[in-house]
Structures are given as structure tokens and as C-alpha cells.
Amino acid sequence: MNVDSAQLPDYVERAFRGGPTFDTTILPSVSGIEQRIVNMPLGRCQYTAGYGLRDRSVWEPLLAFFYAQMGQAYGFTFRDWIDYQVTGGAIATGDGTTTNFQLVKVYSTGSRTYTRNITLPDPTTLVVYLAGVAQAGSTYDLLTNGIVHFHSAPGSVPITADFQFFVPVRFATDRPEFQLQTLESASVPNIILLEILAGSP
């Protein structure tokens, strides 16, 4: 993915609200019985922030990012402060042959689960476990797109991990609405960020 490591300041990120978005078509019958068609089974996060009158410490970082990323052209890293970490997350079970494993986060409710591939983990927070035993960093590498590569294939044991992660995002428009009020204050009524899904150039 064409995503830069640049990140908005924490206090700017924390103002964004949002989360995963799905696309489902509902086809109701005359009797009220409905059919649901899942058009997009892969959740795509969307975040929105709106700022009233703010000083330069808020709107200048947003303006700088918009210029640097050329609007929608280039992605950057974003921390979703509602959902940014995994503790003891199940990754896979070794088979003695496979050496590459995708970092994931699993969401469960009752018998239904949703597995989310994590493509931008924070490498400084990653700890990988085999059968509950923390592995030395020298036994594996973190490759691009959240792939953990073991130097020696794990045997038939559960592989889990602790880590924090970012969401790859881009601006949703090429034309923002910055409105100057005074020389030191401006408003930014609507800033939208869209997740860049894996496989996007």
C-alpha cells in the first residue's frame, strides 16, 4: 500500500469519530419478511471530525497533512483510539511447515466471529507467543502488511500476539473546507478519512 508513516498529532486524532462500515442491501417483501444481501463483507473504516473555531495548533497540522498527501493521492497512518490494540490475540496454529503468519484481530459475539487483518502494526509494541511463551525478537521478523515471519517454522502450537496498530487512511476529498475567522483562528467543519484496504496500490 502507498501509505506514509506520517501521523497526525494525538490531540487531533482523538477528535475523530467513526469505525467500520459495511454495505448491506435490504429487500423487504410485502409481508415484511426481508432478505439481506451482503455487498461488502469486508469492513472499511471511516472517520469524521469537525472543528468549530480553533487556533493554529489544530488546523495547521490538518492543512499541512492535506498539502503533503495531495488530498486523496497518498495515504498515512492513523490511530483509532477506540480500537488500536490486541492482547493475547490468536493468530494461528503452527504446523511445522508454515513460517509466515498474518497478524489479525478477531471480534466475536456468540457463535459469530469477524477476523480483521492488521496491516499496520506498531513494531515497537509487538510480542509474539508460542503456546503462551514469549518469543525472543531474534526468532522472528515483522514483514510488510503485518506478516510475522518465523526463522524456524513453529510446531503444532497456538500462536498469539500482543500489539498496537494503526489504520492506513487517506483523505476522502481533494477539496477541504478551511474557513479563516481571524489571523489566528479558523474552522474546519468536515474532515473525512477513509481506510485504505489491503491490495490497494
User: What is the percent of the chain with per-residue pLDDT over 70, rounded to a whole number?
Assistant: 98
Expressed in angstroms, the distance from the first to the final Cα of the chain is 5
pLDDT band at 53 (very low <50, low <70, confident <90, very high): low
User: Which amino acid type is present at position 194?
Assistant: L
Q: What predicted TM-score, i.e. pTM, was given to this entire model?
A: 0.88
Query: Which pLDDT score, from 0 to 100, does residue 134 have?
Result: 97
Tens of pLDDT, residue by residue over 21-42, are 999 999 998 888 999 999 988 8
The residues pairing with 147 across neighbouring beta strands, listed in sequence order, are: 102
**Dist CA 148 CA 166 (whole Å):** 16
pLDDT digits (tens, 9 = 90+) for 89-127: 999 999 999 999 999 999 999 999 999 999 999 999 999
pLDDT above 60 for 191: yes
pLDDT digits (tens, 9 = 90+) for 61-91: 888 889 999 999 999 999 999 999 999 999 9
